[in-house]
Chain A
Amino acid sequence: MKTKSVAKKPPPARAKKSASVKRSKAQASGDEFWRMRLYVAGQSPRSSAAITNLRKICNEYLAGRYEVEIVDLVRHPELAKADQIVAIPTLVKKLPVPVRHIIGDLSATQRVLVSLELLDA
C-alpha cells in the first residue's frame, strides 16, 4: 500500500503553461500543480527527516497546489525500479515537467526550492 498524503485535490481546470515560459517567482502563479513522490526506506532518521522537511516546504510554498505520495521501499521494493531509485531518500518531482530527482533528506531548503523550480538558482 502506498502511503498517500494528499494535501489538496488539484483545481478542476487549469490553464497549461508552456514549458518554455520561465517560472521565476517563489510564489508561482496559482494555476500550477506539483505532483511529487518521496521514496524512503523504513523509519530511518534520514527518511523521517525528509518527510518532515518536505511537509514544511510544501506547506510554506505550495499550499493547496501539491500532491505528495510517500513510498516506503522496504515495504514495496518493486516500486524502486520504475523511478530509477538508487539513493534514499529521493523526492521525484513528476509535475510540473521536467521530472527531477531530488536526493537527500531535503534539509538544504534553498536547493530544494531551486530543484522544485520554486526559486531561481
Chain B
Amino acid sequence: MLLAGEPPHLEKALTGIAGFDEITEGGLPRGRASLVCGSAGCGKTLFATEFLVNGARLFSEPGVLMAFEETSDELIVNAASLKFDLDTLVRNRTLVIDHVHVDSHQVAETGEYDLEGLFIRLRHAIESIGARRVVLDTIETLFSGFSNEGLLRSEIRRLFQFLKSFAVTAVITAERGEKSLTRFGLEEYVADCVILLDHRIADQVSTRRMRVVKYRGSTHGSNEYPFLIDERGFSVLPITSLGLRHQVSNEVISTGVADLDAMMGAGGLYRGTTAMISGTAGTGKTSLANAMARATCERGERVLYFAFEESPEQIARNMRSVGIDLRPHLESGLLRILAQRPFMFGLEMHLVTIHRESEQFNPSVVILDPISNFLSGGTARDVNAMMVRLVDYLKSRGVTTFLTCLTEGGEAVEATNIGISSIIDVWLLVRDLEVSGERNRGLFVLKARGMGHSNQVREFTMDSRGIHLSEVYLGPAGMLTGSARVAQEASERDAALRRKDDTARKMAQLERRRQAMEARIAAIRAEFEAEETEAREGFASDAEVERRLVEDRAEMWRSRHFGGSSSGRSKT
C-alpha cells in the first residue's frame, strides 16, 4: 500500500528461489545489478542459474548466462544434476549461455585495448532472445586474464552501466575477499544489492548461510538465513521472519489414547498445537507418537513422521507389539515415515527437508521422533533456534506437531536439553517410577496451554491390546505402581471381602442373640403365667375354704345352739 506522497517502491524481480523472495520482500531489484558474493563452493553459480532458470520458466523472462569459469557444456551438465534442463531452455530460446574464456597464457598485450568484445557479445546475447535477466559468473576471472587492472576496472564500471541501460535484472557473482566482500572490490560498482553467501563447517557439519548485506531502497531481513542446496536447487529459510501470527483452532483432536485424552480438559489436543512428550529411554514415547499417528490416519488425515532412530519397517514392526498396526496407513499413503540419521546432514538441511516434505505432503500432523537427536548435529543453541523456527513454521501451517524428546537419566525431568519448553503447548512427561525392584512408567501432563488438565500421575502401560493409563494407587504407603499397585489393590479387595464376612457374621450373631433373648422372654412369661394361674387358683380355694369354714361354723353353732343368738355373727 502506498501512502500519499510516498515514492513508489523499488520494482523487484522475483527470483523464484524458495525463501529468498520472502527475505527480500519480492526478489532482486528489477533492472539493476545485484552482487552475489561468497567463497568457493558456496552456491553462487547455482543461485544465479536458478535465478535465470526460474525467470525463463516461471516469469517469462529470458536470460543470458555469461559464464567466465565453466563452459556451456559443463554448466548444462552441472545444472542437470539439479534437475535444471538448461539444454531445453537454450533450444526454446529462453536462455543463452555464453562461455567467456580468457587464457592469459595465450594472450599477448601489444598496445591499447578495451573489452568491447565482451560488450558486443553480451549485447548480442541479450538482443538475440530479448533477455530480461543477465548473469555474469564470475566476472572477476577477467582480472587474471588481463594485466591492466586500471583498464579492467573502468571497463567493469562501464559494463554495469551498460547492463543498466538495457534495464536487465542482473546477478554478478564474485569471490569473497580477505578484507572486503569481494576479492576485487566489485561491491564498489554494484551499489544496489549485495548478497553474501557463506559456507561454514562446524563440528564437521556444514552449514550454509545467506545474508542480504545491502539492498538500496528496500527493506529486507538482515539476519543470516540458513540455506540449502539439494537436488531441487537452492532454498533459503526465512523462518526467523515469521511472527506469531498463526491462526488458532478450537478443534480438538484425539491423541489416540483414550485415557490420555481424558486427562486433558478439552478431551484431546487442539489442532495445530505443539505437543511434546519427554522422558528417559524406553518410556514409550515412540509408542505414544504412533498412537497419535494411527488416530490421525484413521480420521483420514495425513501424518508425516520423521524418524531419527528407527527405520520405517522397524517402527511398523515394533508398533504391532503394542497393538498399533501402521501397515494399512503406510500402504494407503496417509502415513509417510521418513527415516534419517540426524547427523547425516546439518540442522538446516533437516529443517529444509521438513519444510519441503511438509509442503509437498501437506500433513495435518507432523511427528519428530526424537528431537533430542538433533544435538548430534549442532549445539544446543543451534538446535533450539532451529526448533523454534520449525515449530513456528508448522504452527503457521496449522499442523499439529508431536515431538518426542529423550532426556538423560539424572537430569531434571522438567528440563529438556534443548530448552524449548517455551514453545511447547502441551508437554507430557513420562518418568520411570522405580519401586520395589520394578520399573514402571508414570505419565503426567506437565502443561497444557489453554485447557485444564489432570494433575495426576497415571501409570502408563503398554501391551498387545494397546496403551492404557491407569490411576496409580495413592495411599499411606505413598504412590504405588506396577505389581506393587496390583498387590495393594488385591489386598484391598481381600480386606473388603473380609469386612463383608465380618458384618454378616456379626449380623447372624445378633440374630442368634435376639432369638435367645426372645426365647428367654418367652420362658419368663410362661413362668409368670404359671405363677399367676397358680396364684389365681389359690385365691379361689381360699375363698371356698373361708366359705366352708363359715358354713361349718354355722353348722356347729346350730348344732350347739338352736336359736338365733348366733344370727348376729352369721351376718358378718
Q: Which residues of A contact B (CB under 8 A)?
A: 39, 41, 44, 46, 49-50, 53, 73-74, 77-78, 80-81, 84-90, 98-108, 111-112, 114-115
A87 in contact with B117 (CB, 8 Å): yes
Interface: B172 (CB within 8 A)? no
B110 in contact with A86 (CB, 8 Å): no
- Distance between Cα atoms of A31 and B113 in the complex (Å): 33
| A residues less than 8 Å from B115 (CB atoms) | 86-88
| A residues less than 8 Å from B124 (CB atoms) | 77-78, 80
Closest to A89 in B: B113
A81 in contact with B121 (CB, 8 Å): yes
Closest to A116 in B: B108
| B residues less than 8 Å from A112 (CB atoms) | 108, 110
B121 in contact with A104 (CB, 8 Å): no
A86 in contact with B102 (CB, 8 Å): yes
Residues 91-117 of B at the A interface (beta carbon under 8 Å)? 98, 100-103, 106-117
B184 CB → nearest A CB, Å = 16
| B residues less than 8 Å from A102 (CB atoms) | 107-108, 110
User: If A81-B98, A101-B106, A103-B107 touch, does A87 touch B113 (CB 8 Å cutoff)?
Assistant: yes
A105 in contact with B106 (CB, 8 Å): no
Interface: B164 (CB within 8 A)? no
Interface: B118 (CB within 8 A)? yes
Nearest first, the 3 A-B pairs at minimum CB distance are: A104-B111, A77-B124, A107-B111
- Distance between Cα atoms of A102 and B111 in the complex (Å): 9
User: If A80-B120, A84-B100 touch, does A111 touch B113 (CB 8 Å cutoff)?
Assistant: no
Closest to A84 in B: B101
User: If A85-B121, A87-B146 touch, does A73 touch B116 (CB 8 Å cutoff)?
Assistant: yes
- Distance between Cα atoms of A77 and B106 in the complex (Å): 22
- Distance between Cα atoms of A105 and B109 in the complex (Å): 9
| B residues less than 8 Å from A39 (CB atoms) | 117
B117 in contact with A111 (CB, 8 Å): no
A101 in contact with B108 (CB, 8 Å): yes
Name B113's contact: one of A53, A73, A103 (CB within 8 Å).
Answer: A103
* A–B pairs, 7, beta carbons within 8 Å: A77-B124, A80-B120, A81-B121, A87-B113, A88-B115, A101-B108, A105-B112
| B residues less than 8 Å from A89 (CB atoms) | 113
A103 in contact with B109 (CB, 8 Å): yes
Majority SS of interface residues in chain B?
A: mixed
| B residues less than 8 Å from A77 (CB atoms) | 120-121, 123-124
Chain B interfacial residues counted at CB < 8 A:
25
B112 CB → nearest A CB, Å = 5
- Distance between Cα atoms of A47 and B103 in the complex (Å): 22
B113 in contact with A46 (CB, 8 Å): yes
Closest to A104 in B: B111
B111 in contact with A106 (CB, 8 Å): yes
Closest to A80 in B: B121
A113 CB → nearest B CB, Å = 9
B109 in contact with A86 (CB, 8 Å): no
| A residues less than 8 Å from B109 (CB atoms) | 103-104, 108, 111
Closest to B72 in A: A81
- Distance between Cα atoms of A102 and B109 in the complex (Å): 6
| A residues less than 8 Å from B107 (CB atoms) | 87, 100-103
| A residues less than 8 Å from B102 (CB atoms) | 84, 86
B114 in contact with A88 (CB, 8 Å): yes
| A residues less than 8 Å from B146 (CB atoms) | 87, 103
B117 in contact with A41 (CB, 8 Å): yes
Knowing that A98-B106, A103-B146 are A-B contacts, what are 15 other residue pairs whose CB atoms are under 8 Å apart, sorted by A's residue number?
A41-B120, A50-B111, A53-B111, A74-B120, A77-B123, A80-B124, A87-B107, A87-B113, A87-B115, A87-B116, A103-B109, A105-B111, A105-B113, A108-B111, A112-B110
| B residues less than 8 Å from A111 (CB atoms) | 108-110
B121 in contact with A88 (CB, 8 Å): no
B116 CB → nearest A CB, Å = 4
- Distance between Cα atoms of A84 and B146 in the complex (Å): 14
Interface: B390 (CB within 8 A)? no
Name A108's contact: one of B98, B110, B116, B117 (CB within 8 Å).
Answer: B110
Residues 120-144 of B at the A interface (beta carbon under 8 Å)? 120-121, 123-124, 142
A86 in contact with B100 (CB, 8 Å): yes
B155 CB → nearest A CB, Å = 9
- Max count, chain A CB within 10 A of own CB: residue among B98, B120, B121: B120
User: If A86-B100, A86-B102, A86-B145 touch, does A105 touch B114 (CB 8 Å cutoff)?
Assistant: no
| A residues less than 8 Å from B117 (CB atoms) | 39, 41, 73, 80, 85-88, 90
A46 in contact with B108 (CB, 8 Å): no
A44 CB → nearest B CB, Å = 8
A30 CB → nearest B CB, Å = 25
B108 in contact with A86 (CB, 8 Å): no
